[in-house]
Amino acid sequence: MRDQTYVWQIDLPEGALQDDEMFLLWARGEMILQRKLNVISCRGTAQVRLRLQSDRTLQLFETEMDVHFDEGLEIVDKLVLPDTLELNQEDAVDQIRVDEPIDLNELLRQYVILSLPMQKRDPENEPENCYNASLSPQEAVDPTWAAIRKTVESWEHPGAN
């Protein structure tokens, strides 16, 4: 593959990628691999449909999202890891050996996980209003919260008190 380009049409079926955080229902897209000297550039975009567990309701829900990736893999004869690093050779994803194949599914799985939202919430089961959106300025505020707010304001504006 020296100084060549390879295009991988991503078309993964249900269950091809799994993790504690997600279950793949399908993935479609394209990954372009280009080798220049001792580096393989992996760039691409995929649209994926996932089954996730809502952080709020703990119910499973399905969602679609786009995943963009751009990864450089250095081709080496021998993987070299620092002595103080607590990784195995399998964890060194930015280096690949000449005699080993590239696991494109694993590369895609890692980028899917990196693209997951911090909080996974099912849009169909989300409340219409924020928990305090119904609180109007005319309603009485709990005296404890008023005291806390006054203390915080004294920290924010020490000269005003």
Does residue 161 sit within a domain?
no
Does residue 139 sit within a domain?
no
Does residue 23 sit within a domain?
yes
pLDDT at 153: 81
Does residue 141 sit within a domain?
no
Does residue 138 sit within a domain?
no
pLDDT tens for 51-99 read 998 888 888 899 999 999 898 888 888 766 666 655 554 444 477 888 8
Amino acid letter, 56:
R
pLDDT tens for 30-55 read 999 998 888 889 999 999 999 998 88
pLDDT at 4: 84
pLDDT surpassing 70 at residue 139: no
Does residue 56 sit within a domain?
yes
pLDDT surpassing 50 at residue 13: yes
Does residue 79 sit within a domain?
yes
pLDDT at 89: 47
Residue 31: name the closest of 103, 81, 82 by CA. Answer: 103
pLDDT surpassing 60 at residue 128: no
pLDDT tens for 95-114 read 788 888 888 999 999 999 98
pLDDT at 98: 81
- φ/ψ of 91, rounded to 5, equals -85, -10
For residues 106 and 109, give the distance between their C-alpha atoms in angstroms, rounded to a whole number: 5
**Sign of the torsion angle spanned by Cα atoms 50, 110, 9, 17:** negative
Amino acid letter, 157:
H
Query: Residue 100 belongs to what domain range?
Result: 5-125
From the DSSP assignment, how many helices (H) and strands (E) are in the chain?
2, 5
- φ/ψ of 136, rounded to 5, equals -100, 160
For residues 47 and 109, give the distance between their C-alpha atoms in angstroms, rounded to a whole number: 12
For residues 56 and 35, give the distance between their C-alpha atoms in angstroms, rounded to a whole number: 44
Does residue 40 sit within a domain?
yes
Calculate Rg over the CA atoms of the chain: 24
Number of structural domains in the chain: 1
Residue bearing the bigger pLDDT, 89 or 149: 149
